[in-house]
Amino acid sequence: MKTRFALVALVAACLLTPTAALAQRPEAQRPERPEQTERPERPERREAAIDGVKTRCLNQIDRRQRALSADKARLEKARFLTDAHQAALEAINNQTSSGLARLADVIQGEDNVEELRAECRQIVEGFRVFALVRPRSRLVTASDRAIAATTKLGGVADRIQAAIDQAKAENRDTAAAEASLATMRAAIATAASDAGGVYEAVIHLTPADYNANNAVLDRPRGKVRSARDSLKQAIAAGRDARQSLKASAT
Amino acid sequence: MIVRKTLRVLALAGLLAFGGAACGDKTVTTPPTASAETTLVTDTDSGVSTVANVDTEKSTATASDATDDARLNEVDQMLRDIEADLGAADQDADTPEGDPTR
């Protein structure tokens, strides 16, 4: 009995010892492996991560600088944009562009990841090139164009009035022409009023204003749309008035 | 003697006839002058001047129409430009600014 127990114990010992040895070996080696590989890699990885973020951020700044340059070129050629409005928009573009250039220098020299992330967020939140600067420029251009259009249409309306006066002197029926002219003049006045307030509504807006209220350009944009619709109505009414005058002459 | 007198008379008559014919031709072949035209218009002032006035009015009216057409067409073009500005403003506003760090 004792001999059988001893044999069983021997067999068990033979089987378990290598298993325990195998199980212990990786445990002993595990801490060594990461220490050997990670210790020299950590600073490199960190540096590579910083460089990656820097590249992405600097690319985003370049993208905005290109957009501002394109807007500047467009403003220089924009017809009907008043000189004062053009100067104000160009000043904003220049300030935005130089601000982004300074930020690019800061980002280039940054070696702290957290600081770098905060500086990169400033590219968007501190300048709002696509959400505010460029749309504002377009809205001012469009509203100045609309105001110039009301002046031109006013001249046409005056000529139609003169034609109506002449037709009246010749005892022709001018009722339809007069009604169309009244519609035309009302539409011109509405367009002038809507377009006239756009510049003041948008020119002083800052990125902080946009950050506080993302819909800050919605109302001025609606005013330009409304002015456009009124101009369409004025043109149609002017053509109707002229047609009525021609019909009364035959 | 009689023959000489007859020949002189004939020669004189011939000269007169040639001179008269030449004068007649000159009258016919002279091209009309500006003064002749002016005389014609003033002679028939009632008819001609009325036609001239109507023509002037028509041409003035046509010129006025053309000017108005041109101005209305120009405003039409300005409307298209306003439309383009609005479209571009919308497109810019829709451009995702995103997070440059990601």
Q: What is the pLDDT of residues B10-30, one digit of tens each?
A: 565 555 555 444 444 433 433
Chosen for mutation from A61, A165, A235 (greatest number of chain B CBs closer than 10 Å) is A235
**Residue A143 C-alpha from the chain's centroid:** 19
Given this model, what pLDDT does residue A34 score?
A: 46
Strands (E), chain B: none
Say yes or no to pLDDT of B5 above 80: no
Say yes or no to pLDDT of A195 above 50: yes
User: Across the interface, do B93 and A135 touch by the CB < 8 Å criterion?
Assistant: yes
Selecting from A121, A141, A225 the residue whose C-beta is nearest the C-beta of B99 gives A121
Given this model, what pLDDT does residue B40 score?
A: 33
User: Across the interface, do B100 and A239 touch by the CB < 8 Å criterion?
Assistant: no
ipTM of the complex: 0.73
Tell me how far apart the alpha carbons of residues A235 and A196 are, in angstroms, rounded to a whole number. Answer: 19
Q: Return the higher-pLDDT residue of A236 and A11.
A: A236
Residue of B nearest to A157 (CA): B68
**B49 vs chain A: nearest CA distance in angstroms?**
20
User: Across the interface, do B89 and A142 touch by the CB < 8 Å criterion?
Assistant: yes
Which residues neighbour A205 within 8 Å (Cβ) at sequence distance 6 or greater? Answer: A132, A136, A216, A217
Tell me how far apart the alpha carbons of residues B71 and B74 are, in angstroms, rounded to a whole number. Answer: 5
Give the number of C-alpha atoms closer than 13 A to the C-alpha of residue A247, restricted to the C-beta side.
11
Tally of CB atoms within 10 A around A13: 9
Say yes or no to pLDDT of A146 above 60: yes
pTM (two decimals): 0.70
Tell me how far apart the alpha carbons of residues A173 and A245 are, in angstroms, rounded to a whole number. Answer: 8
Q: What is the pLDDT of residues A45-97, one digit of tens each?
A: 778 888 899 999 999 999 999 999 999 999 999 999 999 999 999 999 999 99
Tell me how far apart the alpha carbons of residues A199 and A139 are, in angstroms, rounded to a whole number. Answer: 8
Residue of A nearest to B94 (CA): A131
Selecting from A80, A142, A156 the residue whose C-beta is nearest the C-beta of B86 gives A142
Q: What is the DSSP letter of A206?
A: -
Residue of A nearest to B70 (CA): A156
Say yes or no to pLDDT of B44 above 50: no
User: Across the interface, do B100 and A57 touch by the CB < 8 Å criterion?
Assistant: yes
Confidence of residue A128 (pLDDT cuts 50, 70, 90): very high
Chosen for mutation from A115, A125, A138 (greatest number of chain B CBs closer than 10 Å) is A138
Cα torsion A123, A127, A132, A138: sign: negative
User: Across the interface, do A146 and B78 touch by the CB < 8 Å criterion?
Assistant: yes
